Amino acid sequence: MLDAARDLIDETGTADIALGEVALAAGVGRTTFYEYFSDRDDVIAALVEEELPQVVADLIESAPADLPTAERLAELAARTVVFVAEDRVFGVILHRAAGSFGKAAQNRIMESHAGLSAEMADLYMRGVSEGLFRPMSPPLAGRLIQGAIMSAAKALIDGAVGPEDAVSDLKGFLLGGLGRAAP
């Protein structure tokens, strides 16, 4: 049933999928469907819970561990943006539809990001201790980093910027803020 939901989101480009269509695509009746899921939000949250933790683990592993702290944080953020832009289903779910889900589904989706959030927080705190980043409240730093990643991904998905600019500008913003670049 999760594969059917994923396929429908991919085909339609929206997370606003009808449960009857998911059941039909999965080859099950609606009654059977409702034995497993309560509503659309439940299906989508389950899909994210099923797939995203491994995706996050793969993203973390793909960023070279031997990079300096700041560059590893920027590289991990950039790889996250590229993944979300390339995976149409997660792009739709995480950057277009997440705000429309109920609070329980939003929390489940957020928990599926826990590994990425923890890695980013660890890199930020390591950067603070190394004198690379300005100290601030870790929860706020996490939200600012996540907000920058989400904004870059959304701009890329919407076609406002190309992949190279999204990655370059995101890295520059995370490592240099809004300050002027050195001449």
Structure tokens at 42: 């439940």
> Is residue 95 in some structural domain?
yes
Amino acid code (one letter) for 67 = L
> Is residue 78 in some structural domain?
yes
Which one, of 69, 180, 63, 58, lies nearest residue 132 by Cα?
69
Structure tokens at 102: 């109920």
| Model pLDDT for residues 77-118, shown as the tens digit of each residue | 999 999 988 898 998 898 888 788 999 999 999 899 889 989
> Is residue 139 in some structural domain?
yes
> Is residue 48 in some structural domain?
yes
pLDDT of residue 124: 94
pLDDT of residue 182: 53
Rounded average pLDDT over 158-177: 93
More confident site: 179 or 82: 82
pLDDT averaged over the chain?
91
pLDDT surpasses 70 at 10: yes
> Is residue 86 in some structural domain?
yes
The verdict on pTM exceeding 0.75 is yes
> Is residue 47 in some structural domain?
yes
Handedness of CA 74, 79, 82, 83 (dihedral sign): negative
Q: Which residue has the tokens 């910027």?
A: 161
Rounded average pLDDT over 168-176: 93
Confidence of residue 139 (pLDDT cuts 50, 70, 90): confident
CA distance 127 to 133: 5
The residue segments making up the domain with residue 169 are 41-176
CA distance 50 to 55: 10
CA distance 6 to 17: 10
pLDDT of residue 12: 93
In DSSP notation, the chain reads -HHHHHHHHHHHSSS---HHHHHHHHT--HHHHHHH-SSHHHHHHHHHHHHHHHHHHHHHHHS-TTS-HHHHHHHHHHHHHHHHHH-HHHHHIIIIIGGGS-HHHHHHHHHHTHHHHHHHHHHHHHHHHTTSS----HHHHHHHHHHHHHHHHHHHHTTSS-HHHHHHHHHHHHHHTTSPPP-
Angle 160-166-172 from CA coordinates, rounded to 5°: 135
Residues 117, 54 contacting (CB under 8 angstroms):
no
pLDDT of residue 84: 86
pLDDT surpasses 90 at 157: no
> Is residue 21 in some structural domain?
no
Number of separate domains in the chain: 1
CATH number at residue 89: 1.10.357.10
More confident site: 157 or 45: 45
> Is residue 81 in some structural domain?
yes
Rounded average pLDDT over 172-181: 82
pLDDT of residue 180: 66
